[in-house]
Amino acid sequence: MAHPSRHTDLPALTDEEILDIARNTLAKEAEALQQMITYLDDGFIQSVRLIASCSGKVVITGIGKSAIIAQKIVATFNSTGTPAIFMHAADAIHGDLGMIQPEDVVIMLSKSGESPEIKVLLPLIKNFHTPVIAIVGNMQSSLARQADFVLNTTVSQEACPNNLAPTSSTTAQLAMGDALATALIRLKGFSAEDFAKFHPGGTLGKKLYLRVRDLSVHNAKPCVSPDSSIREVILEMTGGRLGITAVVHQDQLVGVITDGDLRRMMEKYEQFQQLRARDVMTIHPKTIHRDALAVEALQLMRQHNITQVVVLDSNGHYDGIIHLHDLIREGLI
């Protein structure tokens, strides 16, 4: 006996209706964020300054969907120089309160501000004499009334068609956490170099800390003199396997010869045995300092549609070659 389809009672939606639902959802959430801008007040300023001056850590807690948002804010804080940990509101009253110290700051997330776990937890935290910042969507709630500082994330309606599932409200909470984090970045002077220290892995980290010298050091340093023969040039380029060789005179870079230069030479000359490196080299090649970020070499290659860049040291002397393949291997492309 065939089983009836589980989807037989689903309403039929056209493709355009599905897109309209998505557009409406995004529009409602965008409207909620726009409204939040008007809520920002002195409480936000004081919250940022409190966190910045905290000698301990930031403990962020919530229940349900708010707990998930709390974990994201913790991750953002930690990656931008503000030590933070997550404490689940339900677990807090069963021993996890021990992670809170007097020098800490606690941020509590709740849409209603009346969740049973939040109402039980709040006075317990107050016993530690630890300041509490509320990110709350109900300004008349117990949480809003008892917190030291209140960040208003009230939304007029959820993006959910039934106005039930946390959608606009969790977006508002997440955005408020981002607003705190970005304000702290500026207030603390947290730099791209600092960010790289916390993100050593992955493409993001490599873009922020990987230097040209870290890649060029593994390559050959093909080099010929201006008087070198074309045979010598070809042998040097073949040995380096980079499709390029530097032309150096008295420790100074005077040009480069690439595969393209050799092709153009063969198109121009029937006989080239008498030619020297100076006759076919490209003068004023693109160069980069060995201490520059590798991503800067990538930008240079893209800007000039080239695949190799000559590397120079602090004295302007030839130091090697960085190749597009080096950047590809590191996942920078």
Q: Give the residue from 124, 300, 328, 265 showing the smallest Cα distance to 132.
A: 124
Q: Which residue, 18, 62, 280, 39, is CA-closest to 179? A: 39
CA 241 to each of CA 219, 249, 325: distance values in angstroms, whole numbers, following the listed order:
9, 22, 11
Quote the distance between the C-alpha of residue 271 and its chain's center. 54
Rounded CA separation 236/225 (Å): 11
CB 141 within 8 A of CB 110: yes
- Residues flagged as binding site: 88
Positions at the binding site for Zn(2+): 88
H-assigned helices in the chain: 15-39, 42-52, 65-79, 89-92, 116-126, 142-146, 168-188, 192-198, 202-209, 212-216, 230-240, 259-268, 277-280, 294-304, 324-329
DSSP type of residue 95? T
Q: What is the largest CA-CA distance in the chain?
A: 91
**Token pair 């045995």: residue:** 273
What separation, in Å, do the N-terminal and C-terminal C-alpha atoms of the chain show?
55
Rounded to whole angstroms, how far apart are CA atoms 110 and 176? Answer: 12
CA–CA separation, 148 and 212 (whole Å): 49
Q: What are phi and psi of 13, to 5 degrees?
A: -120, 135
